[in-house]
Amino acid sequence: MRFRPCIDIHNGKIKQIVGGSLLDQGDFATENFVSEKDGTFYGKLYKDNHLNGGHIIMLNARDSQYYEEDKVQALKALKAFEGGLQIGGGITDENAKEFIEAGASHVIVTSFVFAGGKIHYDRLDSLKEQVGKDHLVLDLSCRKKDDKYYITTDRWQKFTDEELTVELLHKLESWCDEYLIHGVDVEGKAQGIDQELVKLLAQYDGNKVTYAGGVKNFDDLELLKDYGNDKIDVTIGSALDLFGGDMEFAKVLEYCN
């Protein structure tokens, strides 16, 4: 289990939010922490600690007045850790290559592929043609409905018709290098991981999977390592001391390594 760091950007600031609170209207989100540091600081920090494979998420919609400000911070981080970070938020087949050329190791995509609630395989083909399978991460972040997990789009605001299953993970793996999966119902709350979701992900054996959502302490990391059979990587946001939490960055690195 590797630690995958994150840089979440909203309204031009690096911050931690409650994932389920995001609204495009008014560019609103419930904030847990707003950093005074910029993308360069976090990119350099992660590079200095050899934390390849972390992700940058631009949380504003592409038509938001803040999207370009998000992008400025994202590009700073990519420049500081060239080839070491992945980036998502408003990625399409038209701009994916731009971010790879700016230093991202991978682009992370959800809404473009799952537009209208369904998988668009032609868009997967186009993304694969633009950047290659080895540079594509599918974000299959999900919320629970009727005791099943459904992939969500548009900054986790809309349910798709696609249920997250082991079969779907296998079906999509030929288009991408990794999966990033936020447990949206617990994202940003630091009240514990979504254990049922982690158990589901542990049944899959294929592309690399990174889980994010709800980690509050080292007991949660132990649960994730146990339930995930030590093969699911982890992201920690609000609980990390870098973002105002109690979990010490250095101790997290020591634990995961």
Quick: pLDDT tens for 82-128. Answer: 999 999 999 999 999 999 999 999 999 999 999 999 999 999 999 99
Tracing tokens 């031009």 back to the chain, one arrives at 12
Quick: pLDDT tens for 42-76. Answer: 999 999 999 999 999 999 989 999 999 999 999 99
Whether the per-residue pLDDT at 23 is higher than 80: the answer is no
Predicted pLDDT of residue 112 = 96
Rounded-to-integer distance, Cα 149 and Cα 162, Å: 9
Predicted pLDDT of residue 32 = 81
Predicted pLDDT of residue 144 = 94
Encoded tokens for 78? 């990519």
Given the candidates 2.50.20.10, 3.40.50.300, 3.20.20.70, 3.30.1280.10, the CATH classification of the domain at 6-256 is 3.20.20.70
Quick: pLDDT tens for 161-205. Answer: 999 999 999 999 999 999 999 998 887 677 799 999 999 999 999
Query: 3-class SS at 251?
Result: helix
Predicted pLDDT of residue 24 = 76
Local confidence band at 19 (pLDDT 50, 70, 90 cut-offs): low
Predicted pLDDT of residue 21 = 75
Quick: pLDDT tens for 133-155. Answer: 999 999 999 999 999 999 999 87
Q: Which of 48, 111, 39, 116 is CA-nearest to residue 79?
A: 39
Q: Where are the alpha helices (DSSP H) in the chain?
A: 39-48, 67-80, 96-101, 121-131, 166-172, 195-202, 218-227, 249-256
The model's pTM is 0.94
What's the whole-number mean pLDDT along residues 230-240? Answer: 93
Angle between helix axes 195-202 and 218-227 (nearest 10 degrees) is 30
Rounded-to-integer distance, Cα 50 and Cα 37, Å: 19
Encoded tokens for 56? 């940058």
Asked whether the beta carbons of 54 and 42 are under 8 A apart, the reply is: no
Q: Which of 170, 93, 169 is CA-nearest to residue 135?
A: 93
Asked whether the beta carbons of 85 and 78 are under 8 A apart, the reply is: yes
Tracing tokens 């731009």 back to the chain, one arrives at 98
